A and B are shown apart, each in its own frame.
Chain A
Amino acid sequence: MTLLFDAQLLRLTLIVMVPFLIAALGELLTERAGVLNVAIEGIMVVGAVTGFLVTFSTHRYGWGLLAAMGAGAAIAAVLAYFCVTLRASQLTVGLGLFVFCVGLGSLLYRIVIGVRLMAPQIRTLPPLPLPGLSSLPGVGPILFTQNALVYLAFIIAMAVSVFVFRTSWGLRLRAVGENPRAADVLGIGVFASRYVFTILGGALIGLAGGYLPLGITGTYSDGMVGGRGWIALMLVIFGRWTPSLVLLGALLFAYIEALQFKVALVAKAVPPQFLLMLPYVFAILVLIKVYQGAAAPEAIMRPYDREERA
């Protein structure tokens, strides 16, 4: 049992939770507005590569993360143009953009870095101990000696939750995702909301991608996103489009991922590939439960056309 709950494991859990949580929150905002962003995995790839490249060239984490957000927002804007203005199929366009982003990731890396023997590296985000709190026994090292993005992820989760459920803008956002015509009739800008939240969501997804090289690996490699975007997409359903439940799901998947590192160190007889499969197999098992009684925003994937005759 000590193996399953030691401080190092729990600390690692929070570190690897960040991309799941932030990406899922971005997707949550997008879907609440009635747009399904299935390019999420690809946007994370582009976020990862821009985050890495900009940090690598400027030696500033802040610029790297901003660039990742900008790239994510830009791609989400393309998605919004296709799906909101042109009313194209959200799945088709999303998958197309996903493929585009996957290719773009390695292309950008190649253009900027070129071919090198040694993969260039950056230092990962340093821990930022919170004064006072970090010296608390037990929880101090786990909760309060983390990098800045871990704290930020929790703050974003709280902000999204308050926004969606406690503000009038959140009420309008939910109305747009549930019944755009009802919202439109009341003078709420359906198109504007969908653009704003798709782009904002894309920025968060890009940030989640940018965190991967900055917060976890220190390098960029093709395939490093490794399905985290897809899992984040799933977490939104798992979390019933509610930030607090999404946080719970992100913690769960982060724990599995962290555990897999841990077990690899202990159980050397098990081929590593089987451990690597673990999060994905776990995801499938969770999916079976996730789909029982999940009710998505009703207008999700449905383009809005004011003059459509019912």
Chain B
Amino acid sequence: MTETQAPSAVLPLPHRPRRLPWERAGIYMLGVVVALAIAGIAITLVGGDVRSAYATVLRVSLGSVVGVGQTLNKMTPLLLATLAVVLSFSGGYFNIGVDGQIYLGAIFATGSAFALGALGLPRVVLIPAVLLAGIAGGALYAFIPAVLRAVFAVNEIFVTVMLNFVALFLTEYLATGPWNDPLAGEAITRPIPAAATLPMLIPRAGTHAGILIALGAVVVVAWLLARTVLGYQIRAVGDNPRAARIGGVPITVVTLVALTASGALAGLAGAVEVSGFHYRLILGLTPGYGIMAILIAVLARQHPVGAAVAAFFFAVLLVGSDSLQRSVGLPASAVFVFQAVIVLTVLLAEALRKR
């Protein structure tokens, strides 16, 4: 039954890479303004001062080298998660389980760092090994919905959502159980060996090299979708699976590849978070990157380069709302409201303009 869902009705946006026309910039600005207005109301309601709050947000996210550095650090997992979503959406698959795959990537990365670190391997071997382990973890985890979809026609939305919860509990088990750091007193594991950690890109700002990996992934995904027959076939399946099938596209293979590769990118995000930022596995490693990634992918119309731009902007929001959490006490997940409002406003404006 899943095949009868016309994905073009699912995704109103063309997959074909296109330059973003200037008039779209206005729509995006409108979304931002509405979101800022709502954020202002929220800040006022919790008793904060709007102007100083906004000033703080700008200062901590963009106003200094350290701020930009932190923003880039947040952008890294967001961008990788977005690429995971872009890849799956392009094929018409709704991978809502990016968060779970991030956790599995982080678990595999942490486990391999513990195991291989104990062997005393050098950094040049250890870092790629840890990243590959993360990729494998995410890919394997996404392989479950991929097989269920390809063989049993089970809708991947449900499976990936359920697997998110499973991954969360698995992480909690590892972080409080076998790998627990007894000194920490919370759900985090022991740190991974230093040799398994990513080098710093901007040491002064604490920016690790993960952003380079993420930008590299942008190029790879863009190339895959636009310049390879596989990418063309993924997009064809995403646009009209029945037509693709009659055109001789091997749907089963495309399903397996697109969803598994999507999970691999998510797993890479998890590995980068462990190896570059936290240096350990923690519960709450992803504050919903996978969910935000869906919004970013919609904003960017599944274009990998657009995704990079939008991911940067969402990272600013994320760093900013972190600071709002500390200064005025907004809850961490309030950022979801602002991000969703941007996307809904943009969808609204586009739909109204089309009429």
Report if A and B touch in the complex (beta carbons < 8 A): yes
Contact among A89, A103, A291 with B155 in the assembled complex (CB-CB below 8 Å) = A291
Q: Produce 1/0 per residue, B176-188, CB < 8 A to A.
A: 1100000000000
| CB pair B351 A87 closer than 8 Å | yes
Q: Does B159 contact A (CB under 8 A)?
A: yes
List of A residues within 8 angstroms of B176 by Cβ = 273
Find out whether the CB atom of B163 lies under 8 angstroms from the CB atom of A97. no
Contacting residues of chain B (161-217) with chain A, CB-CB under 8 angstroms: 161-166, 169-170, 172-173, 176-177
User: Closest CB-CB distance, B176 to chain A, in whole Å?
Assistant: 8
Cβ distance B80 to chain A, nearest Cβ, rounded Å: 19
Please, what's the 1-or-0 string for A79-92, where 1 marks a CB less than 8 Å from any CB in chain B?
A: 00010001111111
Q: Are B295 and A99 in contact (CB under 8 A)?
A: yes
Partner of A271, one of B144, B177, B335, B336: B177
Q: Which of A92, A102, A277 has the most CB of B within 10 A?
A: A92
Does the CB pair A111–B42 fall under 8 Å? yes
Per-position contact with B for A96-124: 1 when CB-CB < 8 Å, else 0? 11011011111101110011000000000
Pair count A-B, CB < 8 A: 155
Given contacts A106-B331, A222-B331, A277-B166, contact A82 B348 (CB under 8 A): yes
Indicate whether B355 reaches chain A with its CB closer than 8 angstroms.
yes
- Give the docked Cα–Cα distance between A115 and B9 (Å): 43
Given known contacts A227-B165, A273-B170, A301-B9, A115 and B329 CB-to-CB distance under 8 angstroms:
yes
Among B94, B172, B329, B355, contact of A86 (Cβ-Cβ < 8 Å): B355
Residues of A within 8 A of B165 (CB): 226-227, 277, 280
| Residues of B with C-beta under 8 A to A4 | none
Partner of B154, one of A96, A233, A287: A287
Is B153 an interface position by the 8 A CB rule? yes
Is the Cβ of B173 less than 8 Å from the Cβ of A284?
no
Contact A271 B173 (CB under 8 A): yes
A273–chain B nearest beta-carbon distance, Å: 4
Are A110 and B169 neighbours in the complex by a CB distance under 8 Å? no
B327 CB, min distance to chain A CBs, angstroms: 13
Q: Are B337 and A104 in contact (CB under 8 A)?
A: yes
Asked whether, in the complex, the Cβ of A234 is within 8 Å of the Cβ of B5, the reply is: no
| List of B residues within 8 angstroms of A288 by Cβ | 148, 152, 154
How far apart are the CA atoms of A182 and B269 in the complex, in Å?
49
**Looking across the interface, which residue of chain B has its beta carbon closest to that of A38?**
B157
Shortest distance from the beta carbon of A253 to any chain B beta carbon, whole Å:
12
B339 contact set on A, CB distance < 8 A: 99, 103
Instruction: For A230, give its contact among B10, B94, B158, B333 (CB under 8 Å).
Output: B158
